[in-house]
Amino acid sequence: MTSAVCFHDQHYTLDIGQDFLDDAIAGLLDSPKWASPKYFYDYRGSQLFDAICNQPEYYLTRAEEQVLADRAGDIAEVIGENATLIELGSGASRKVRTLLEAVKPRHYLGVDISRDFLIQSTERLAADYPWLDVHAAWADFTSPMHLPSGLDAGGRPVVFFPGSSIGNFTPALARMLLSNLANMLPPGGGLLIGVDRMKDREVLEQAYNDAAGVTAAFNRNLLTRYEIELGSDIDPDQFEHRAFLNEAEQRIEMHLVSRKAQTVALGGLRIPFDAGESIHTENSYKYSDEDFKTLAAHAGFESRALWHDPDRLFSVHYFER
């Protein structure tokens, strides 16, 4: 059975619309302009991200799925029986299937910011795995969370944070987010986390500039949300998708670049853009294994295992509190 639970009552009544407008305005009034990548994920954005995962250039998903499939037995062994699996940014809940079949946890909790997408995905999981107790929490996992009561089966609670989503945060924020997770977990609690590794510029840049233009559509969908949900007159087609490796910062940056000088209305303001001026919409940090272990150690996590795909494109780390 699927039931909706939440970590804080506020997440049920959270007026995402108001936060969204405030955040959108703050980003466009700043210099340089920015937007928060968490707003990519409305229903359409979650669909587009799922489509990105199927693009030949976007190696991350395939590499991670291969690790999870090849190492399912090892992973099940370190996690143990009767576990509670908490998936952050569960999206289409695709990667978790291999894991569920190997680990056979007692409880599963999907956490995602995209409400309808979350409910649909977890309902599918509940239908496909009748032996699993499935829960969904509509929440922004960047705020501190509590483990909901009633999910304790005597087994280990394990946070599953796949996809290198941790890469969306600066190292300082990533460390804070991991500290919050460590505080949420009891001693012995686990963190199974997918992290993209630093590699050649060409491979990285192609992954964020797929030939079919799905990543470009995903990036522009953010502006479609400004149009539809925030009443802005912004025209997404007047912005060009750009993604490149910033080697000094060890991250891929995504931008939306204004094709012309223009003024955009948002929340009663008129915001000017120069021709070629960009909105910085996302960072995807890439890590060496050692750097990521150090970051996790600072947040209170001890490294217990580390697995790679055969091409060593992607890392899956297992930590315990």
Please identify, using beta-carbon distances, which residue of 74 and 240 lies nearer to ligand AVJ. 240
- Residue 231 sits at the vertex; the CA angle it makes with 17 and 118, to the nearest 5 degrees, is 40
Smallest distance from ligand AVJ to CB 10, Å: 25
Smallest distance from ligand AVJ to CB 221, Å: 11
CB half-sphere exposure, 252, CA atoms < 13 A: 26
Query: Which residue's beta carbon is nearest to the bound ligand AVJ?
Result: 284
Please identify, using beta-carbon distances, which residue of 155 and 194 lies nearer to ligand AVJ. 194
Smallest distance from ligand AVJ to CB 128, Å: 23
Smallest distance from ligand AVJ to CB 153, Å: 29
Please identify, using beta-carbon distances, which residue of 46 and 232 lies nearer to ligand AVJ. 46
Please identify, using beta-carbon distances, which residue of 84 and 93 lies nearer to ligand AVJ. 93
Smallest distance from ligand AVJ to CB 13, Å: 27
Please identify, using beta-carbon distances, which residue of 61 and 84 lies nearer to ligand AVJ. 61
Please identify, using beta-carbon distances, which residue of 266 and 279 lies nearer to ligand AVJ. 279
The full 3-state SS of the chain, as one line of letters, equals CEEECCCCCHHHHCCHHHHHHHHHHHHHHCCCEECCHHHHCCHHHHHHHHHHCCCCCCHHHHHHHHHHHHCHHHHHHHHCCCCEEEEECCCCCCCHHHHHHHHCCCEEEEEECCHHHHHHHHHHHHHHCCCCEEEEEECCCCCCCCCCCCCCCCCCEEEEECCCHHHHCCHHHHHHHHHHHHHHCCCCCEEEEEEEECCCHHHHHHHCCCCCCHHHHHHHHHHHHHHHHHCCCCCHHHEEEEEEEECCCCEEEEEEEECCCEEEEECCEEEEECCCCEEEEEEEECECHHHHHHHHHHCCCEEEEEEECCCCCEEEEEEEC
Contact footprint for ligand AVJ (CB under 6 A):
52, 60, 163-165, 167-168, 208, 215, 282, 284
Smallest distance from ligand AVJ to CB 70, Å: 21
Please identify, using beta-carbon distances, which residue of 87 and 282 lies nearer to ligand AVJ. 282
Smallest distance from ligand AVJ to CB 254, Å: 6
Using the structure block, give the residue that is written with the tokens 């998708």.
241
